[in-house]
Amino acid sequence: MSVLQGRVALVTGASSGIGEAVALALAGAGAKVAVSGRRQSRLDSLTARIVATGGEALAVPCDVAVAEDAAAAVEATAAHFGRLDIVINSAGVNEAGGTEALPLDLWRKVIDINLMGTIYTCKAALPHLLASGMGDVINVSSTSGRRSNAPFASYATSKFALTGYTESLRQEVGGRGVRVCILEPGATSTDIAGSITDPAMRAAIQAHVSKDGAMEAADIADAMLLVLSLPRRANVCQIQLRPTIDTAPM
């Protein structure tokens, strides 16, 4: 029997991409899954797919950039399933433009979703994860959390900050039984480019994540299952996944 059998997970950003893939993978491994995001119809479709294959799922529409929404999603999950063991923070957006070009409201959007949304969700979830005795947090970052790229300054800033937050959280709660991991994918075929308002930059990122040899969201989900399935004494605290043919430094 899978070590994930019966565990309860909340996946943010589950209406597409990596979030959707990991929700399906967790359900396939026997976990009960709450899926959150801003697109109700996609969440409903995802939960229907999980239920149709014998799994248990709950749709909890949520904008993680709003602290009250994030907390409500956590509490709805715990109330429905009776516990919360796993949190996957995969909600994320990208924008193009540096300090000069990108309007402050778009800087704020990227930071609020990519960084603060994770913090809001973790803060609300911690009491449940600590009570579980087998809590896990996986925060989805990017290779942009290791290397900056001037045209995508806000995204890199949010992901560098997420690295610092994740390690701080690991130190805070690791001694009390909650494992914390940051997962940094390289080019992965998702719709992350869709959030970019600049058409040329949107096309460039779409080409990057769709290039030959790019990873699939299911590949990232498989890595998460590995992290979650290890014995409790083992905490994979940081993992980077890159396409095999990607030979650029870092």
Transcribe the chain into DSSP letters: --TTTT-EEEEESTTSHHHHHHHHHHHHTT-EEEEEES-HHHHHHHHHHHHHTT--EEEEE--TTSHHHHHHHHHHHHHHHS---EEEE---------TTTS-HHHHHHHHIIIIIHHHHHHHHHHHHHHHHSS-EEEEE--GGGTS--GGGHHHHHHHHHHHHHHHHHHHHHGGGT-EEEEEEE-SEESSGGGG--SHHHHHHHHHHHHSTTPEEHHHHHHHHHHHHHS-TT----EEEE--TT--S--
Token pair 């609020």: residue: 112
Set 81, 120, 155, 165: catalytic member: 155
Looking only at the bridges linking them, the beta strands covering 238-241 and 188-189 are unpaired
Active-site residue 155, yes or no? Answer: yes
Question: Quick one: which of 99, 166, 104, 172 has its CA closest to 137?
Answer: 166
Give catalytic residues, as residue numbers: 155
